Amino acid sequence: MKPPIVLAVFERSIGERSLADLRIGGITLLVRALRSASRAEPERVIIYASDHDRVERTVLGDAAWPGARKLHGAQLQVVCEVRPMPAGVTSLAALFEAEHPRLPTHVLAAELDGLYSPGLFVESASDARISAIADVDGRFIGVYDVRGRPPGGYAGALAAARAEPERMIAKATYHAVTSVSDIALAFATLRRSLRKPLARSADGLTAYFINRPISLVFSKLLVDTAITPNHVTAVALAMGLAGSWFAAKGSWTALVLGGVLLQASSIFDGVDGELARMRLTMSKAGEWFDTVCDDIINLSFMLALGFACAVRTGDVSYVTFGWAGAGIGAALALSMYRDEIAAGVASHNHFEWKVNAGPLQPIVEAFGYVAKRDTYTLLLVVLLALDLPRVAFWIMFAGTAIIAVAAVAQKLRAAFAAKA
């Protein structure tokens, strides 16, 4: 557990609005700072506020802070204490000078001066009384690590630390807001932070180059609405199931419409996570909902393609293979759920494939990208547009079977290794 976090909320104005009340990314800067501080899992959060009553109402009234204890359904218990700002105090240094007898010896401290994210609140590796935290490029990110009162006072020590901050964070989402023009820049910084890297555990090829740029546009449109990430997940599920229903009819028009809905579902599959990360309302429950919905869409679409192929060819064995593929996929998903629950994760992206294919390893790794939902979804859309439903079906069936065999082989290897 990290040391307590001290957050100073001074009365600052940007244009005609209070800095604390500026909405960037769907929530105010004050709520964002509170959620960021709390998600860092500190011992407690101590807030000093010039407008004590208003800030206290914000803390207690935030739906994510019932009783100022439980956050976002994440079972994170954080004690939050709101204290009035001492009279005449207008800087962090002056606050520490006035309040250091009442503060713990070791705290992480920040002034509400812009946009924060949870990863910013980290402890310094230095033994110095006061350290300023910076990203790997040496840019100060608004957080100080304070370990007692320096001999010469806080003002000089904070200034000196800020002049030579300690490089700690590889990727920090922080942007100071000092003018109206900074609002748009801060939101742009937040949106850039939502881009995931190109990796098997993050975005696949299609998601990185096609889906993510589109989903970020929808996220920007929705972030200031009452629509929640779970609402978006439900819409993506409805799109996927509707696509399956159309695809099962078997005509070229129905197959293309089904493919388009499947691709739209894949794009919206990124919007829910983006909204959650922008608003800092991420939760395991939401991630599980997203994972299960993805699996339902995949299995229903494979079954639908089986029906479509039966309609096209008159061969009802396609329906049998469709049910078989869906059954294999369901068993595989349930097995992965069990492993993911044991590992404390809620997404198949975190599933660790331990494959040693020797000289074929590059091919196996390439298959890992192709097998990601975003890439094979686009492939299915192209095949359906080319009126090749049987090819699309067998690709889904074979891919599911290969992954299932690989999962069983991995479990058997692990079992034999444990007995050896």
pLDDT single digits (tens) 374-414: 888 999 999 999 999 999 999 999 989 988 888 888 888 87
Q: What is the CATH number of the domain that holds 305?
A: 1.20.120.1760
Note every long-range contact of 14-20, with CB atoms under 8 Å and residues 24 or more positions apart, other chains counting.
14/177, 14/178, 14/179, 14/180, 14/182, 14/183, 15/180, 19/112, 19/113, 19/177, 20/55, 20/58, 20/112
Distance CA 180, CA 112 (A): 16
The predicted-structure confidence for 162-192, as pLDDT tens digits, reads as follows: 998 887 776 678 899 999 999 999 999 999 8
Asked whether residue 17 falls in the same domain as residue 134, the answer is yes
What pLDDT shows up at residue 72?
A: 36
Domain assignment of residue 150, given as a range: 5-190
Mean pLDDT of 210-230: 93
Asked whether residue 17 falls in the same domain as residue 51, the answer is yes
pLDDT of residue 2 exceeding 90, the answer is no
Residue that the structure tokens 């100071």 belong to = 176
Asked whether residue 185 falls in the same domain as residue 198, the answer is no
Among residues 142, 173, 190, the one where a domain terminates is 190
Asked whether residue 121 falls in the same domain as residue 17, the answer is yes
Q: Say which range, 131-145, 212-226, 265-279, has the weakest mean pLDDT.
A: 131-145
What pLDDT shows up at residue 365?
A: 60
Q: Say which range, 75-84, 251-260, 267-276, has the weakest mean pLDDT.
A: 75-84
Task: Order across the sheet with 130-135: list the strands.
Answer: 79-84, 44-49, 5-9, 106-111, 140-147, 130-135, 166-169
Residue that the structure tokens 């099962």 belong to = 248
Among residues 151, 167, 190, the one where a domain terminates is 190
Query: pLDDT class for 57, splitting at 50, 70, 90?
Result: confident
Asked whether residue 176 falls in the same domain as residue 200, the answer is no
pLDDT of residue 38 exceeding 90, the answer is no
Asked whether residue 170 falls in the same domain as residue 214, the answer is no
Asked whether residue 238 falls in the same domain as residue 154, the answer is no
Asked whether residue 40 falls in the same domain as residue 138, the answer is yes
What pLDDT shows up at residue 77?
A: 56
Asked whether residue 242 falls in the same domain as residue 325, the answer is yes
Among residues 168, 190, 212, the one where a domain terminates is 190
pTM over 0.75: yes
Asked whether residue 207 falls in the same domain as residue 184, the answer is no
Distance CA 7, CA 97 (A): 15
The predicted-structure confidence for 341-376, as pLDDT tens digits, reads as follows: 988 888 887 766 665 555 655 655 665 655 678 888
Asked whether residue 175 falls in the same domain as residue 256, the answer is no
Total tally of structural domains belonging to the chain: 2
The predicted-structure confidence for 289-343, as pLDDT tens digits, reads as follows: 999 999 999 999 999 999 999 999 999 999 999 999 999 999 999 999 998 898 8
Return the SS3 of 149. Answer: coil
| Neighbour count for residue 232 (Cβ, 10 Å) | 24
Asked whether residue 141 falls in the same domain as residue 172, the answer is yes
